[in-house]
Structure 1
């Protein structure tokens, strides 16, 4: 009761703290050492207000019933600008009637607001206030939509309906698996306490570190899935012990000593995989990794403390409120489970199962060769949001490149002392940038207060998500002008640098994750072959996930079915709304790799542990594989169904990143728990035979004596089979 009370108080306290003192979220995508970051640093050196990150907000005006230049509409626009000038931190309001502020059709215009001294973490609130001040134009039927606001309110990622759907689906799976309402509610309760605790910690951390806006949703997705899964493994073992006649207290002790260790080990692999993102060279990805790991740590802690406390309090009432026709295990004629029968079937024909499994997995992974990476712009946001509407209006009035202008900053080798007349270097920079192929318009050059840098804004001909926009960035950076060095910043340049940095670091991250995970398995099972094989199996499941992402998003086969809206400029035909290509941000595959590798290792640990225990008891490898699959097949399948249900529920989120993660995670877990754990792993273990547990004598001597599931009376090894195994290991 003490443990239960402490967890409830902790979760309630952290939740209350996050509600009353919520930490801000950060949109910082800076990458130190890149060209885009150098340009952004120079922008802050004396170019005046509005050139700091988040220093400019635009209000897009659209007059459907006539030009903005009519007398009545001009007066309304001027009144709106006067109201905006009166707001805090507003230092300049630029009229849409300036050069470049009004579209050729005179129906679309831009009010540009420059800020200074504001809090970038509260940019959404600032944007809302500026949008409200533009109300006079709306009275004349003029549409006024905020743009370029970093993370406006309609684009913030918030928790809500998807979590409810995921929890409901998980409850249905648990009811079907256990057949009792009380047992089904234990993993749900533990996971909710875990999520509340983790989200509270993450929210309060926002006061100390930059927390990405995606952190809460990623933590919820992963934490909810693993929290339910870990509690499910413990509960399944506990109910089996109760069914065998073990007293309640003894059953709880055995569960904590054995399966609790496996949960800690499995959670540790997920945390290690996420922590490896610190090597990615992308600060946002690094922070996203370790913050998401907090939710996994909370899931592990609640599983090994709160769940045993609940089991001890409930006793045999854990099987109360039984539902009819649910939770009854099907047995074969010999009394074994259907999963054990599958294991025996695989053991009789391992080569055929191996070949067929590999063929299916290759077919699933093949589309990954067509995976298209690139920045995804606001043109893919949900229709009806301010983000999408402002993007559409700007593209219609000023061209697609206006949604991702380039900020070109040139450092001068010699400071300009005499500003009158304008130095020739300023005009030279403008002319050279304008001559680059793909540049549509270049603004007037601006010299900073110290005379050491020149800034021009260049509008490309292409949308930010168009690969040709990246070519324009590289061509501008390739300019070599006497007496100055050119740097390019802005959204497109920043994403280009992020992609390049991540591509360079990906082999390092992948190598560290694979090696550390294999090392953990080696320490746990004392078998190099098992460790290497497990790492390879996890990589195979990742191939299937990336193949699914490529099919849905890169090839566009059903992107509309997951809730994506077609990009701006496409027709509204039925087929177009269902099938269209969507770029995938360059950091998503690496984040998916880390998450999926850790989650896949969970199932590997539970299956290998069961097989190893069976093998240590009688030394028959084929029989051990069948028994291990029979012991874990049902619980792994239930856990995978829960994970898939949770991840599919998150596809309903409006944010494209969340949809991509939902599809990739759901497919990978489904493939991992069925084809890989049900067929491929058992087949390879049967074919390897005794070599599954082979360990060189020198390695066996230096490895510490660890055990994933500890030791209890039920898992004690018989002396003769153990001697036989030890002898084989040293031979």
Structure 2
């Protein structure tokens, strides 16, 4: 038997199910209190995000640390307010008066001198704050822009003042509506369909709310909350769906085995005239079905969620803080989803009683039953065809290159894109991504006129790809100098990274030169992700395969599961490359042309997809394993497993695909990449891989699927945590 069927986890989950069914109101009230507490804290303190990137160990980070240790306020946020006049040159007096109003806003530390374009119709001022980037809230941005409003001039935010739009309410609403429709069709009832949605909403409030609150303690990018929302909706609904399906199947088995003369069924109400003893017995048998569902499918949910968390944990070895942050925040949401599905849902099922009915019996074979018959009869045909299809989808990945997006890649009409375009039109594209050259001097300089600094400034200005440089800034102790240089190319242009490399190679005597700034850091981040990706992939594959082996004690099954998941991830990468890098259909998702694939997105997608794909693998293999233990016929077991789980896996996948695809509506290109990549991979995984390739290869492997190097043990019937009829087991 597998660990899921008879191991310690099975017994633990049985005890969890018993507690939830015996104290349902306590469990429900506890979850509601936690949700209310987290929600209230979020409303009171808000969800704080920080788009600032860091990369320990990189030259860019060393330069940034030098600035932080020698220049007061260098870590504080800096934004720009842009002024534009369509008819005549800017009124410098009006701009100066506006600057004074901006300087009076709380948390504004200083306002720089106006910088005018060549034609005099566009200008901007630097706004320096006395707080870090995470504390430049929408309220503070609004106060600055209100102070900047000037009659006859168009004012636009840029830099730290142009906050990325990450409102996901429309995507969340769309995902919930689609999920409700699918669940109503799958369950045939509104109450049963609403329970997974309720657990998913509780998961969102607790999990995503906790991420937002954690932003007050550490830097968390806005994409973390968006990703947490995606995962919370997807797995929160899916895990509850699997448990309810198992529970209803147990009700069906009990109804079929109950004596016809009793006049009662588990799924119906007590017959007229039945006494209190029969009603108590009926409730006890329902509770036993819930406990059995939690012990079996709940164990599978824990294994599936654990696989996702382990895969996300593998991101920590990349040495990239943003990936580690996205990993633990998404893992937190998955943990909450597992907890709510295995505790809150059983309590709700207990309170619902007979209103959640058994499955309706089908007199004719289902679509999945007919497909299972065809696949098991002709496994070679389906294995080869599906493998060729997956390889064709994955082919574009050979041309994938990692880069960085900037505000110029945002959809037209967003605040970030408007400010970016206006700055680029007036002052060149490089003004949106300046590079800061930091020089650590061997001996202190008396002033910025030091010969070494004069020579360095001249060499920076003469470097190919540099449009202009600002005067040298010298630290109070004279040991560190900085020069701000504006490149001729946009931040996302690969040529800008080459310019940064040339600047980093400059040397004047024994000075140490580093190039820093968000553009330089993100460029080095892309290099590090590319170098570390093979190690992360290897670790995640190994850990996930070990978990599957621990669940089923079958090394062939574990190795095959890892290989199948690699195919689904490869197909997702191929689609990402074709859409975003090559521009195939990119206008259909709200972008006006090809955009670079953000460096950390493929690695993040790999961890997520590998974990989520294992969810379906665990549920399918659990059904196949149960049939194998019962009859010992491999082909029949594969057929029964696919026929029995096809509907629920497809329903779960459809919900998850719609949830992920709805986030393509987000204006942020990175969110579009993640949403599209996840949606495509889950769709492929639930149909081509789980529906065709996995069952075909399992038929071809025969008894080798369940080979184990350990001595074969006698198969014993596991004891259920509550008394059930044999047919229910």
**Greater CA drift, 425-434 or 224-233:** 425-434
Of residues 689-698 and 625-634 in structure 1, the stretch that sits farther from structure 2 once superposed is 689-698
Q: Deviations over 1:446-495 (max 9, x none)?
A: 22111111211111111111111111111111223212111001122011
Describe the SS at the equivalent of 2:356. helix
Matched with 1:607 is: 620
How far the C-alpha of 1:119 sits from its partner, in A, is 7.2
- The Cα of 1:394 is off from its aligned counterpart by 1.1
Residue of structure 2 aligned with 1:394, choices 423, 435, 459: 423
The equivalent residue for 1:675 is: 688
Does 1:624 pair with 2:652? no
Corresponding residue for 2:11?
none
Q: What does residue 145 of structure 1 align with?
A: 156
Distance 1:32 1:43 in 2: 15
Question: Contact 2:208–2:225 at 8 Å: present in 1 too?
Answer: yes
Q: 1:563 aligns with which of 590, 598, 609?
A: 590
Aligned 8 A contact 2:76 2:133 in 1: no
**Match of residue 492, structure 1, among 519, 535, 539:** 519
- Which residue does 1:109 correspond to in 2? 123
**Contact 2:52 2:518 (C-alpha < 8 Å) held by counterparts:** no
The one of 55, 58, 66 equivalent to 1:31 is 55
Residue aligning to 1:317: 355
User: Is the Cα–Cα contact under 8 Å of residues 67 and 105 in structure 1 kept in the other structure?
Assistant: yes
Distance (Å, rounded) in 1 between the aligned partners of 2:130 and 2:198 = 47
CA distance in 2, matches of 1:125, 1:214: 20
Q: Deviations over 1:35-82 (max 9, x none)?
A: 111111222244455x3341x2211111101011xxxx2221121112
Cα displacement (A) at 1:13: 2.0
Displacement after TM superposition at 1:674 (Å): 0.3
* 1:166 maps onto 2:204 in alignment: no
2:447 equivalent in structure 1: 419
RMSD between aligned alpha carbons?
2.4
Say whether 1:371 aligns with 2:400.
Answer: yes
For residues 496 and 211 of structure 1, the distance between their equivalents in structure 2, rounded to whole angstroms, comes to 20
In structure 1, distance between residues paired with 2:721 and 2:618: 13
C-alpha separation in 2, matches of 1:329 and 1:630: 14
Q: 2:664 aligned with 1:664, yes or no?
A: no
Q: Secondary structure at the match of 1:214?
A: helix
| Structure 2 equivalent of residue 582 of structure 1 | 595
**Alpha carbons of 1:119 and 1:347: their partners in 2 closer, same or farther (altered >3 Å)?**
closer
> Which secondary structure does the structure 1 equivalent of 2:64 belong to?
helix
1:515 aligns with 2:542: yes
Q: Which residue does the alignment assign to 2:219?
A: 210
TM-score (norm 2): 0.89
- Determine the structure 2 residue equivalent to 1:591: 604
SS at match of 2:481: strand
Cα distance between partner residues in 2 of 1:126 and 1:429? 38
Q: Match for residue 329 of structure 2? A: 291
Contact 2:316 / 2:327 at 8 angstroms: preserved in 1?
Answer: yes
Q: Does 1:353 align with 2:367?
A: no
Q: Which residue of 2 aligns with 1:721?
A: none
Picking from 699, 710, 716, the partner of 1:697 is 710
- Gaps spanning 5+ residues in structure 2: where? 1-24, 256-265, 267-284
TM-score of the superposed pair, with normalisation by structure 1? 0.88
Q: Could you tell me whether the CA contact under 8 Å between 2:76 and 2:129 is conserved in 1?
A: no
* Distance verdict in 2 for CA 1:376–1:710, change over 3 Å: farther
CA distance in 2, matches of 1:363, 1:710: 48
Give the match for residue 200 of structure 2. Answer: 191
Match of 2:282 in 1: none
1:554 aligns with 2:592: no
Structure 1, unaligned runs of 5 or more: 321-326, 567-579, 719-731
Distance 1:344-1:120 versus aligned 2 partners, 3 A rule: closer
In the alignment, structure 1 residue 16 sits paired with structure 2 residue 40: yes
Aligned to 1:82: 100
Residue 15 of structure 1: how far off its partner (Å): 1.0
Q: Distance in 1 between matches of 2:458 and 2:192?
A: 72
Which of 243, 268, 283 aligns to 1:234? It is: 243
Relative contact order higher in (CA < 8 Å, ≥ 6 apart): 2
- Cα displacement (A) at 1:716: 9.7
Question: How many pairs are equivalent?
Answer: 674
Change over 3 Å in CA distance of 1:52–1:12 after alignment to 2 = closer
Measure how far apart 1:560 and its partner are.
1.3
Aligned match for 1:65, one of 87, 99, 120 = 87
The worse-fitting range, judged by mean Cα deviation, of 661-670 and 241-250 is 241-250
CA contact 1:190–1:307 (8 Å) conserved in 2: yes
Over 3 Å counting, the alpha-carbon distance change for 1:303 and 1:188 in structure 2 is same
